[in-house]
Structure 1
Amino acid sequence: MAEMAAEKKKKKKSLPVIPWMRDPVDISLSDSCPLSSIPFLDSRLETALRSKGFGSLFPVQAAVWHETIGPGSFERDICINSPTGSGKTLAYALPIVQMLSTRTIKCLRALVVLPTRDLAVQVKEVFAALAPAVGLSVGLAVGQSSISDEISELITKPTMGIGVCCDSENFSQEIRSSVDILVATPGRLMDHINHTKGFTVEHLCYLVVDETDRLLREAYQSWLPTVLQLAQSSSNSLFPFGGAINRPAFGLLKTVRSFGVERGFKGKPYPRLAKMVLSATLTQDPSKLAQLDLHHPLFLTTGKSRYQFPENLKSYKVVCTSKLKPLYLLALLGTLQGEKCIVFTSSVESNHRLCTLLNFFDDLQIKIKEYSRLQRQSVRSKTLRSFREGETQVLISSDAMTRGMDVEGVKNVINYDMPRFIKTYIHRAGRTARAGQSGRCFTLLRNDEVMRFKKLLQKADNESCAEYSVPSESVEALRPMYTTALARLKESVESDKHKKARVNIKSRGIAKKNDKSS
């Protein structure tokens, strides 16, 4: 009886709070669909896809196409909860490019917002592979270059002729967008909204919020309410340069917001701003989803559980003592024989310390590099390029890499530090076993962490995780080098402290000098 009550309580707790989430479209029931069978697909886009090696669409891509270009006709906003590596980026990029290709008006009509620069660059590349085929252009606003360089890429200024005054009203009106689609991070997006002359989101047709749960968790200068307000403020948003249209009389419909759902169009332009929100761990919090102002949302998901592992992922645990953890990691990397691997740590500080320590081991047969948010963007980009090209075999990373990053050929993910939350595990593990490929996720555990790790996996309905045995002789063989590496790490840490102290003293001296001169 007690067991039945516990099971009932468990099921009740797992049910989504929001009504529209209780009746989702199950993507897992769909099959991949050959390009030749995709209805209404523009032949130019089919050619572009085939040139990139695509012969069919994955289930999530086919499902989104069905609800946007197909019978669904994008009558509802789309919310997608699908495992990492399932093809979510192309799922929204393809229909957006197709829909925008039917009109030749040059203005910013689609906006894709992502939480990190590296992820935004990756998504921009997907759009850039499709958009030129149908005469569209894609821009990037992430702070990777100076804002003046971004402005020159995003904004078209009229050619100054004889007798034309740059202060004239006509001149300012002719400053237009150079791009149809913009991929942006929130901070730089707000920079352009607030300061860039001629930049506007008032003509948006489509808004994509990728990695939704992270973007909703952090305010990012109130970018979302700003975009929604500006995009819906224009009474003629989709036809900004003349040619008013007769709109259906939706003004009499009552607008009611319940759980973040638009129930009509009173006081809003029509056609509406269509939205797509996506994550591998989409939030079910009504207060957070309410920020999106969704219109009759349609929930697409894979299976019944919110947390889904990639289909071909195998999970393993490696039990070891805390003091010998670096040796177990190196021994494990040795068994993986140079396969591309990402190692995750719990913080940027431990990330730097671990990478420094490992590189103090002599005669390593693998190249190991650090990747974290503390590095300059140029350094991170160079490291990532080296990893993609196979020059670096192992990346030691903080959680900056967990969200959406796609590096081809990553065979293994290693949790050097056990993640605290199942959501973190899902996103870390999702760097491998992508696009139908196989992959492995290893987690190094102390004895006192084994039970907690088991409970963590149970939240994703994963009841079993095999133990992976690292050869003890491989660990013992590394002990002499470990002592030397630890001593060198200590020297390095002390040296870094002295450098920081000198920089701080110099900075205070400059500040005092400036105070006296003023």
Structure 2
Amino acid sequence: MNSIFENNFKEHGFTKQTLIQEQVYEPLKEGKSVLGLAPTGSGKTLAYLLPLFERIDKAQGVQLVIVAPSQELAAQITEVARQWAKLVDLKVLSLIGGANVKRQIEKLKKSPEIVIGTPGRMLELTESKKLKLHNAKAFVFDEADDLLTEQTLVACRSLLSHAPGIIQLAFFSATKSDMFDKLHQWFGTEVEVFDVRADDQTQGKVEHFLVETPVRKRIDTLRKLSNLEGFSALVFFKKVTEIENAADKLNYLGVKVAVLEGQQRQVEREKALRQLRKGEISLLLTTDVAARGLDIEELPAVINYDLPKDSNTYIHRVGRTGRMGASGTVINLGNEHDLRNFRQLVQSEKYELHFGAVYRGSLLRIEELPEDVKEGQPAKSQVETVPRKKKKIAAPVVTEKKRHKKRKRDQLNKGKRRKKEDL
């Protein structure tokens, strides 16, 4: 590692590199293309920034392009990159949608060596010849499993087509995607794979709770959780409309909340994240897209108001807490049926799931509740995959009064049919 980076590394309190940082440093510094797979919160951003910074020449135009799937993640990477780039006198520019494009064009005239942004905005600037990539040496695709999908794969490849034909590529992700087996097909280059997910030890202790809650009571459950001492959380929803509805109800109940979603202006999103980091709000309501890859230092908890659609989504959600050795809590809300299906969904990931409940200002496992409170709480057997027995429905009781009405109605209908036949 560059001695300047090494000294700053130690000043930030890091005693040694994480596993992914250690394994990809030399290959990236030597110009090799890599695929890095490591858990959320394991230091992937610095894993590619520091070695690639060592390949950049000053005042030679854009040489490093970092692509992120969301504006929030791009802004976060930019903040980290600037802290380290200034040590070696390199300029960093953020190019994201939602920000003033004219101001971005003006800053491009100052010839930054590193640009970081979302594929749509960078492609727009490239095609208008404002962003010039003819001197680019390396492209990084962060959260690559999310970027290399139908929606953004085309934009990523189009952006790359404006760079030199032979270029270093780096793909980083917390989860494996089928697309990673086709990187040579789509990008025309062989990549060296570094998968440290099984061996990485950076994640702290994270408890996973199942809290049985019908839909009509979930807002009240959020209220109770927000009142826990020192509690704050990212709350994941499926739809933006549900977020807005929940925010209105929670505000009415006096809960300090903010919303993070894709349609907001950049300044509003930055304000929401700042409020959560400073403890000014207890709940930040968001979606998977808006919160992908966010690093919120020592975030106490993640709440799944709507349970995730697949195990990969769950991995990325829960990765917002318990980062770099800190402890964390994940709270999954749902009815009995939802939780039963959810357990099947994530069983391959081997998470230890505990049933829990909020009791007297604490979130406790069911077995920790007093005996007189346990009654009515979900037991383990209630969410096993064994099908439940159907209740027998008793036959309706027919009274003499009902029989008389039915006989009279039958006689009336019989008379109507005879009249029709006579006609």
Task: State the partner residue of 1:315.
Answer: 208
Task: State the partner residue of 1:85.
Answer: 41
Task: State the partner residue of 1:203.
Answer: 135
Q: Deviations over 1:311-367 (max 9, x none)?
A: 522211111223222222222333x31322111112111111111111111xx4x52
Alignment of 1:451-470 (within 5 A): 451-462=340-351, 464-470=352-358
Task: State the partner residue of 1:60.
Answer: 20
Alignment of 1:142-161 (within 5 A): 142-156=96-110
Task: State the partner residue of 2:324.
Answer: 435
Question: Aligned letter for 2:44?
Answer: K
CA displacement at 1:99 relative to structure 2: 2.1
**CA distance in structure 2 between the partners assigned to 1:401 and 1:391 by the alignment:** 20
Task: State the partner residue of 1:300.
Answer: 194
Range with bigger deviation, 407-416 or 286-295:
286-295
SS in 2 for 1:359: helix
TM-score of the pair, normalised by structure 1: 0.65
**CA distance in structure 1 between the partners assigned to 2:215 and 2:124 by the alignment:** 45
Q: Deviations over 1:110-137 (max 9, x none)?
A: 1000111111010011110111211211
CA displacement at 1:472 relative to structure 2: 8.4
* Residue 242 of structure 2 is aligned to residue 350 of structure 1: yes
Alignment of 1:104-503 (within 5 A): 104-156=58-110, 178-197=111-130, 199-220=131-152, 222-233=154-165, 272-285=166-179, 289-290=183-184, 292-293=186-187, 295-303=189-197, 310-334=203-227, 336-361=228-253, 364=254, 366-462=255-351, 464-471=352-359
Q: Is the 8 A contact 2:19 2:196 kept in 1?
A: no
Q: Is the 8 A contact 2:234 2:301 kept in 1?
A: yes
Question: Aligned letter for 2:38?
Answer: S
CA displacement at 1:284 relative to structure 2: 2.0
Task: State the partner residue of 1:160.
Answer: none
Q: Is the 8 A contact 1:432 1:439 kept in 2?
A: yes
CA displacement at 1:183 relative to structure 2: 0.3
**CA distance in structure 2 between the partners assigned to 1:288 and 1:437 by the alignment:** 35
TM-score of the pair, normalised by structure 2: 0.79
**CA distance in structure 2 between the partners assigned to 1:115 and 1:289 by the alignment:** 18
* CA distance 1:428–1:55, shift in 2 (3 Å): same
SS in 2 for 1:99: coil
Q: Is the 8 A contact 1:61 1:92 kept in 2?
A: yes
**CA distance in structure 1 between the partners assigned to 2:356 and 2:7 by the alignment:** 45
* CA distance 1:141–1:436, shift in 2 (3 Å): same
Q: Deviations over 1:199-252 (max 9, x none)?
A: 31121111101111211114448332223322235xxxxxxxxxxxxxxxxxxx
**CA distance in structure 2 between the partners assigned to 1:340 and 1:406 by the alignment:** 14
Task: State the partner residue of 1:37.
Answer: none
Query: Between Structure 1 and Structure 2, how many residues are aligned?
Result: 363
**Alignment RMSD:** 2.6
Q: Is the 8 A contact 1:283 1:289 kept in 2?
A: no
SS in 1 for 2:55: helix
Structure 2: gaps (5+ residues): 364-423
SS in 2 for 1:443: strand
**CA distance in structure 1 between the partners assigned to 2:250 and 2:85 by the alignment:** 43
Question: Aligned letter for 2:355?
Answer: E
**CA distance in structure 1 between the partners assigned to 2:244 and 2:68 by the alignment:** 25
Structure 1: gaps (5+ residues): 1-40, 157-177, 234-271, 476-518
Q: Percent identity?
A: 29
Question: Aligned letter for 1:44?
Answer: I
SS in 2 for 1:404: coil
